[in-house]
Amino acid sequence: MTTELESVVIKFAGDSGDGMQLAGTLFTDTTAVMGNAIATFPDFPSEIRAPQGTVAGVSGFQIHFGTSGVHSPGDAPDVLVAMNPAALKANLHNLKPACTIIIDGDSYTKKDFEKAGFEGNPLEDNTLSDYKVIEAPITSLTKASVADLGLDNKSMVRCKNMFTLGIVFWLFNEPLEQTINFFNQKFKKKPELAQANVNALKAGFNYALTIEAIKSSFTVLPAKKQPGTYRNITGNQAAAWGFLAAAKKANKELFLGTYPITPATDILHELTKHKWSGVKIVQAEDEIAGICSAIGASFAGDVAITTTSGPGMALKTEAIGLAVMTELPLVIVNVQRGGPSTGLPTKTEQSDLMQALYGRNGECPIVVLSASTPADCFDWAFEATRIALEHMTPVILLTESYLGNGAEPWKIKLTEELPDIHPRTLDSLDPNWKPYQRDSEKLARWWVKPGTKGMEHRIGGLEKDECTGCVSHNPQNHGKMVATRQEKIDRIADFIPLQRVKGKDATKLLVVGWGGQFGILFGAVNELQKEGKDIAFTHFNYINPLPKNTAEIFAKFDKILVCELNNGQFANYLRGQFPQFTYEQFNKIEGLPFKIKDLKNKFNEILEAGNA
């Protein structure tokens, strides 16, 4: 018997090293190809290997897939894979009442319970009585399924994630071909490893079929999507591709100067695979050298980017000031993580907003943008580059761990579908040109790269004369330059789209969000709108400057609620920009995204308070 479901949340959880990220990714790839809407949330510890079997070492990968209503990776799982008691312990507090739990019985020994902090055996006391438990001797069955391939014990045990994945595939009537192809490609040169993974996968699938693990399996129908060609993509990969596309559409070469840091490093990993495109990459000695090499490359005429995360951003600060002063195009990507200091390296947060807006010495205005979903990191990388090149300014692009590592289907944009970017390049002699001459519309100076005959000039971090660019300490000139640099950024508001509101005719409550919480906020608001509540949603991607109609939108609502994963940084920013409005806040700082149910509770509370 097969039951049709609208959407399902599955969480793969196990020891760091149990291959849960891979199992989750392979399941995602298959559901994506089957045409489902998906959103994923990998959640793993920052230690390479925390002590085995402990809650600290639990690595998780959550995927939400479905026909409709998939705006986020979901609040709580419908299916939990718990490879050991620690994985169960780490997730017990957050399961749906009818959750199906798949357990490797081989790793549920007394020693394992103790390590995970259980007092007794959760399979025998009433701990799991509300759930459907599928307990299978996964480790031993996996070993049996690969026994004749001549592998060592460790390699055999390592295949247990595929046995488990096989069970999940059976549960949701998903085909195995995609995953089998993956292993045949990945282990082309080690066919015995490919075979072992395939054997384990099939064995898991057949095992579930044979024992009829639960009475019925489920089917999730494909989502209704815009026609087109899609592929699955993570935020970091999408950002990397967005930069490749932007450089191409600007007819320039791409340069990345960077230093590895979690969770931004995958942008480097992705771009370095594509040297065929001409991308020049300097993996520098530190964060400062990363951005500095990018500034040098920008001076020399390349589309320059630097990628980092919170602590790395702190180190880049002085150099960002130099890029602002010299008015060179540059994109600085900050894939935010929990802070302060080293904070929570693998967890998500939105707490670097104030740093992006103000974290420099002097009056140092800069463009700040943020992405909303994994796939739209492509668009925002592209847009950040466009603004940098067309307005001659550094741009900070904020994404989040949640976006960078998360995945969703991306409707592929071919290069011919993308708009051209028009850098303010001057590549031949203009006898009247001066380094800090500006165009009257954008106030942007010209970009003249070394090698251009007759246009030799000097720039630097010292204050410059408003036209010649020569060093100037003249007080009036400084005042004028400070104002001009601000005005240049403000005027970008004339070249970006107006802010939009999702939700018709609402007047009571406007939910305001920014960055990677888009899907979750939208999902929560959407559910209340369906219930007929007087609520609307607006999500900001242009943070500095803000869209020109922002105040106009705010004025239409009785209440404004700003929701963000920090202590209220965007709310405070809005208070400074538009002090005429009152902003309520909903904040969460736990290294985790919002949950739809918490948001709905909060929204309802405010809506009901309004009725009192």
Partner 1 sequence: METEALQCPLKPKDFASDQEVKWCPGCGDYAVLNAVQKALSELNVKKEDVTFVSGIGCSSRFPYYMDTYGFHTIHGRAAAIATGVKVANPNLSVWVISGDGDSLAIGGNHFIHAVRRNVNMNLILFNNEIYGLTKGQYSPTSERGKVTKSSPHGTVEDPFNPAELALGAQSSFYARVPDTDVKLMTNVMISAEKHQGLSLVEVLQNCVIFNDKVHAAITGKDTKADNQLILEHGQPMLFGIDKTKGLRLNGLELEVVTLGEKGITEKDILVHDETIVNPTLHYMLARMRLPELPIAMGVIRNVGKNVYDKALHEQIKSEKTNSKYKNLNDLFLSGNTFKVS
Question: 93, 189, 453, 473: which one contacts partner 1 (CB under 8 A)?
Answer: 453
Q: Assess 362 for contact with partner 1 (CB under 8 A).
A: no
Q: Assess 304 for contact with partner 1 (CB under 8 A).
A: yes
Report the distance separating Cα 159 and Cα 156, nearest Å: 6
Scan residues 105-134 and list those touching partner 1 (CB under 8 A): none
Closest distance to partner 1 from the beta carbon of 462 (Å): 7
CA distances from 296 to 112, 130, 145, 267 (A): 54, 61, 56, 20
Q: Assess 301 for contact with partner 1 (CB under 8 A).
A: yes
* Site size for partner 1 (CB under 8 A): 73
Q: Assess 556 for contact with partner 1 (CB under 8 A).
A: no
Nearer to partner 1, 193 or 304 (CB): 304
Nearer to partner 1, 215 or 458 (CB): 458
Per-residue interface string for the shown chain with partner 1, residues 313-352, x marking contact by CB under 8 A: -----xx-xx---x--------------------------
Report the distance separating Cα 612 and Cα 606, nearest Å: 10
Nearer to partner 1, 470 or 493 (CB): 470
Closest distance to partner 1 from the beta carbon of 171 (Å): 22
Question: Which of 459, 601, 469, 458 has the alpha carbon at shortest distance from 524?
Answer: 601
Question: 452, 477, 486, 587: which one contacts partner 1 (CB under 8 A)?
Answer: 452
Question: 56, 211, 300, 609: which one contacts partner 1 (CB under 8 A)?
Answer: 300
Question: Which of 476, 439, 433, 477 has the alpha carbon at shortest distance from 455?
Answer: 433
Scan residues 19-58 and list those touching partner 1 (CB under 8 A): 29, 32-35
Per-residue interface string for the shown chain with partner 1, residues 430-449, x marking contact by CB under 8 A: -------------------x
Nearer to partner 1, 239 or 319 (CB): 319
Paired tokens of 612? 């009192």
Paired tokens of 568? 């209220």
Report the distance separating Cα 293 and Cα 289, nearest Å: 6
Using DSSP, state whether 185 is helix, strand or coil.
helix
303: number of Cβ within 10 Å: 29
Report the distance separating Cα 521 and Cα 600, nearest Å: 9
Nearer to partner 1, 241 or 402 (CB): 241
Q: Assess 412 for contact with partner 1 (CB under 8 A).
A: yes
Torsional sign, CA 171, 177, 180, 181: negative
Cis peptide before 340 (omega within 30 of 0): yes
Q: Which residues contact 222 (CB under 8 A, 6 or more apart)?
A: 34, 35, 36, 67
Q: Assess 457 for contact with partner 1 (CB under 8 A).
A: yes
Scan residues 267-296 and list those touching partner 1 (CB under 8 A): 274-282, 284-286, 288-289, 292-296
Question: Which of 241, 585, 271 has the alpha carbon at shortest distance from 414?
Answer: 241
Nearer to partner 1, 163 or 299 (CB): 299
| Strands 254-258 vs 280-283: parallel, antiparallel or unpaired | parallel
Nearer to partner 1, 447 or 540 (CB): 447
Place of tokens 């749906």: 96
Nearer to partner 1, 211 or 471 (CB): 471
In a 13 Å sphere around the CA of 120, the CA atoms on its Cβ side amount to 7
Q: Assess 505 for contact with partner 1 (CB under 8 A).
A: no
Scan residues 575-594 and list those touching partner 1 (CB under 8 A): none
Nearer to partner 1, 425 or 585 (CB): 425
Question: 230, 433, 578, 581: which one contacts partner 1 (CB under 8 A)?
Answer: 230
Q: Assess 471 for contact with partner 1 (CB under 8 A).
A: yes
Closest distance to partner 1 from the beta carbon of 244 (Å): 6
Question: 302, 349, 376, 564: which one contacts partner 1 (CB under 8 A)?
Answer: 302
Question: 175, 191, 362, 454: which one contacts partner 1 (CB under 8 A)?
Answer: 454
Q: Which residues contact 2 (CB under 8 A, 6 or more apart)?
A: 173, 216, 217, 218, 219
Return the H-helix or E-strand segment holding 11. Answer: strand 7-15
Q: Assess 177 for contact with partner 1 (CB under 8 A).
A: no
Scan residues 181-210 and list those touching partner 1 (CB under 8 A): none
Q: Assess 361 for contact with partner 1 (CB under 8 A).
A: no
Q: Assess 377 for contact with partner 1 (CB under 8 A).
A: no
DSSP 540-560: ESEEESPPTTHHHHHTT-SEE
Angle formed by the axes of helices 177-186 and 20-33, nearest 10°? 130
| 452-458-459-464 Cα dihedral, nearest 10 degrees | -130
